[in-house]
Structure 1
Amino acid sequence: MTEPAPHRIFHIATAADWRRTLETGTYTTSTVGRTLEQEGFIHASRRDQVQGVFDRYYRSLGEDLVLLTIDPARLADAQVRVEAVGDDTYPHVYGPINRSAVLDVVPLSRTGGTETLLSLWLKGMAVRMGIALAVMVAIAVVVLVVQNA
């Protein structure tokens, strides 16, 4: 027996797979390394299940990841079935996910938390400032060595 589809479902995707969707208009990756065609459906989750899915399957992947927020009512050629998996239920998307059904795409951090554009910018800025500081220290050391020689 299946439950009705939730109002919103979520799917963790590699940034590369999502970029392909922007080109093709449809998303067809079921899970890491498996296509919709191979698996028969696309794995999805409720929001409260996202962190557990990330920890089990994506944490060690080492790729840039995004979290897709999907509106099941906007799926053009697919249906969502909520099915039992172990002691819980998960939504499965039977068919491709059309780009217009994806309401939001948010980058995921290396720990599975969502990133804002501001946090990504700040992290990038911190890295650039660290590099600039290291270069300035190196130059200062070279200047001191040359002056004392």
Structure 2
Amino acid sequence: MATIFHLALASDWAAAEASGAYTTSTLGRTLAEEGFIHASRADQWTAVRERFYGDVSEPLVLLQIDTDLLDVPVVEEPAVPGGAETFPHIYGRLPAAAVVKAIPLTTEAAPPAAAAEPVPPPSATAVPTPAQPGESFSRVYFREMFFNIALLCIVLVLGTIGGLVADGIGGIVGVALGGAIAVLLYRRRHSGPAAA
């Protein structure tokens, strides 16, 4: 499942729920006028809100969209011709059924820390990530990457020590022991709420 986001007026979303499809491109523009519906990735929607919706006093919702449930193309394109940053654009009506969550947003200028990064609903195949509320994807990614590198270092250090102590067989035993410790630490870290 790929997830993208769209900021919407709560009234526009309510009308879409009633009709079954959402057709607002962006604030004050329809799909027919724009040709596509503007969307954002998780790391982009807060900046879009600040830039384009900062003065909006009506209630807003953040639509969490599962792109696998769309029957129209989603194209990554620059926001302006020649721009470096790309945004997902939905080329057609957004079925209400493709919106897996509508997150109400407060009308204050900046989103509260807990709403800064919406958390997708858990799935049966998802591995729990020890993320804090409001933590960015890149921070979680790098923390997990460094944790995995640390596990690899444990394997290499124990393999090297084993190799120095007892030549070839000691190195194999050291790598096996390091691998077992690394697997144990990995499982303990990702065992979910029960470990906390």
The TM-score with structure 1 as length reference comes to 0.70
**1:125-136 maps to which residues of 2 (within 5 A)?**
none
Identity %: 45
Deviation at 1:67, TM superposition (A): 0.1
Q: Does 1:83 align with 2:77?
A: yes
Q: Secondary structure at the match of 1:100?
A: helix
Matching residue of 1:94: 91
Q: Secondary structure at the match of 1:60?
A: coil
* Matches of 1:91 and 1:72, distance apart in 2: 10
Query: 1:98-132 CA deviation, whole Å, 9 max, x = no partner?
Result: 0110010001122234399xxxxxxxxxxxxxxxx
* Matches of 1:54 and 1:112, distance apart in 2: 9
Matching residue of 1:20: 15
Matching residue of 2:157: none
Letter in 1 for 2:75: R
**1:106-117 maps to which residues of 2 (within 5 A)?**
106-109=103-106, 110=108, 111-113=110-112, 114=115
Q: More strand by proportion, 1 or 2?
A: 1
- The alignment yields a C-alpha RMSD, in angstroms, of 1.8
Matching residue of 1:144: none
Q: Does 1:104 align with 2:101?
A: yes
Letter in 2 for 1:73: D
* Matches of 1:35 and 1:84, distance apart in 2: 19
Deviation at 1:60, TM superposition (A): 0.5
Is there any run of 5+ residues in structure 2 with no aligned partner, and where?
119-196
Q: Does 1:44 align with 2:39?
A: yes
Report how many aligned residue pairs link the two structures: 110
Deviation at 1:22, TM superposition (A): 1.2
- Which is higher, the Rg of structure 1 or of structure 2? 2
Greater RCO, CA 8 A, separation 6+ = 1
Letter in 1 for 2:94: I
Deviation at 1:66, TM superposition (A): 0.2
